Amino acid sequence: MLRREFLSVRSRLTADDLRGTATALAERALELPELAQARTVAAYVSVGSEPGTLALLDALRARGVHVLLPALLPDNDLDWGAYAGEGSLARIRHGGKMALFEPAGDRLGPDAVTAADVVLLPGLAVDARGMRLGRGGGSYDRVLARLERAGAHPALVVLLYDSEVVERVPEEAHDRPVDAVVTPSGVRRFRGDGRAADH
């Protein structure tokens, strides 16, 4: 039910809304020291009315950052490929799901994400503790489990609209809090004690 509500609000955004928020989101994200100093960032290409990521991907690439993008596997796990500009993306439709933009080049394997300094996560909401509400497909739960198994500790950052930072979202036992949320109006960090600290 909660997921439907957030998706419904997003569906009412106009093309102008999406363009404006994408630019602001990129600017705010680059204020985050972890992103500004990162050598490798695992990211994703926004689709539909998700907060736009292309401006941020291009800005990171222009800084010489190695940007990894996911490619959905049949079992809902994620493989990874390098982002080489908007022209390097292929539009892929997976079954009855929405079409995704994925890297057209070589696949680097699901473990490539463990080399990332920062992992940018999609989501529908985040709460005051840093708990993220995803779309429910489980792909990023698997990514987070893979990072944990590998002993990798990248900064986990979710990209959202301002209205999607809420008091509380439902959580499951395997859910892990993110380190920060970036919205078009700013960055909010979460401490390990579950309390927020505005940046």
Looking at residue 108, what is its pLDDT? 98
- Strands (E) across the chain are located at 40-42, 66-72, 78-82, 89-93, 99-103, 118-121, 125-127, 132-133, 155-159, 165-166, 180-183, 186-190, 196-198
Segment 31-48 shows an average pLDDT of 94
Give the chain's domain count. Answer: 1
Q: In which domain, by residue range, is 158 found?
A: 2-198
Query: Which of these, 27, 2, 13, 48, lies nearest to 187 by C-alpha position?
Result: 27
Segment 154-179 shows an average pLDDT of 91
Looking at residue 1, what is its pLDDT? 58
Q: CATH no. for residue 187?
A: 3.40.50.10420
Known binder of ligand: residue 52? no
Known binder of ligand: residue 44? no
Known binder of ligand: residue 12? no
198 three-class SS: strand
**What is the distance between the alpha carbons of residues 184 and 135, in angstroms, rounded to a whole number?**
20
Looking at residue 198, what is its pLDDT? 53
Question: Measured at the alpha carbon of residue 75, what is the angle toward residues 71 and 77, in degrees to the nearest 5?
Answer: 45
Question: Measured at the alpha carbon of residue 69, what is the angle toward residues 189 and 25, in degrees to the nearest 5?
Answer: 40
Looking at residue 85, what is its pLDDT? 94
Known binder of ligand: residue 72? no
Known binder of ligand: residue 140? yes
Encoded tokens for 30: 């680059």
Query: Which of these, 156, 143, 172, lies nearest to 76 by C-alpha position?
Result: 143
Question: Which of the two residues, 15 and 1, has the higher pLDDT score?
Answer: 15
Known binder of ligand: residue 138? yes
How far, in whole angstroms, is CA 154 from its chain's centroid?
13
Known binder of ligand: residue 60? no
Known binder of ligand: residue 20? no
Highest mean pLDDT of the ranges 70-84, 86-100, 129-143: 70-84
Known binder of ligand: residue 194? no
Residue 195: pLDDT band with limits 50, 70, 90 = very low
In sequence order, which residues have a C-beta less than 8 Å from that of residue 98 and are 6 or more positions away? 47, 48
Q: Using one digit for the tens of pLDDT, what is the confidence trace for 86-122? A: 999 999 988 766 788 999 999 999 999 999 999 999 9
Residue 199 has pLDDT above 60, yes or no: no
CB 177 within 8 A of CB 194: yes
Known binder of ligand: residue 139? yes
Looking at residue 193, what is its pLDDT? 44
Instruction: Name the least confident of 127-136, 155-164, 169-178.
Output: 169-178
Round the average pLDDT of the chain to a whole number and report it: 90
